[in-house]
Amino acid sequence: MNHRPFEDWLLDEQPLTPEQTRELQIHLQDCAHCAALDEVNLELRSVKMAAPAAGFAARFQKRLAGQRLHERRNRLVGVLILAAGGAGLLGWSAAPYVIQFLASPAVWIAAAVNFLLTLLLMARAIGELGSILARVLPGFIPPFGWLALASALSGVVLLWVVSIWRFTRFSRGV
């Protein structure tokens, strides 16, 4: 049996004229295939909307609270793992010094004084190098170079600020 154009009318929900509707009804009496399409269409339209059991919103509130608690717990566990890891790393790197300090305080104090003196000498040397460069460099670097340097520094500072902002920003809700 030729289903055209009746099948297309049914499958594409085309708006029909009264004459087309009449032709379709005649065709549906003889054509099981098109009648099935029409019946399915009617059946789908007649099925009612299902509704959830009463108290859906209350159950959602409970679920939301549970999710928030779960997220808070996860965050806390994450912080604890980070803190424990950091403390472990610190302990591992500081262990030789602690052992040394406990074994002989005099040696440790001498080493510390030596270290501080080295730091001071280094800071002084860096300061002198800086003052020399400050006297010499301006003659070598053109104004464009200074501009590029300042832009790069600004970019780094901006990146740093944005990174801090992104990492410290709290997400809303759950």
Full 3-state SS string of 112-135: HHHHHHHHHHHHHHHHHHHHHHHH
Q: Is 44 in the site for other proteins (CB under 8 A)?
A: yes
157: number of Cβ within 10 Å: 10
Binding residue for other proteins (CB under 8 A) from 59, 73, 75, 124? 59
Task: State how far the Cα of 37 lies from the Cα of 13, in Å rounded to an integer.
Answer: 11
Name residue, tokens 């809700």: 173
Binding residue for other proteins (CB under 8 A) from 15, 19, 57, 168? 57
Question: What does the block give as tokens for 16?
Answer: 């029909």
Count of chain residues binding other proteins (CB under 8 A)? 35
Q: Is 135 in the site for other proteins (CB under 8 A)?
A: no
Binding residue for other proteins (CB under 8 A) from 64, 79, 95, 109? 64
Look at residues 17, 19, 18, 20 and name the one whose alpha carbon lies nearest to residue 4.
Answer: 20
HSE-CB at 170 with a 13 A cutoff on CA atoms is 6
Binding residue for other proteins (CB under 8 A) from 61, 74, 104, 151? 61
Q: Is 29 in the site for other proteins (CB under 8 A)?
A: yes
Binding residues vs other proteins (CB under 8 A): 7, 10-12, 29-30, 32-33, 35-37, 39-41, 43-45, 47-53, 56-57, 59-61, 63-64, 67, 172-174
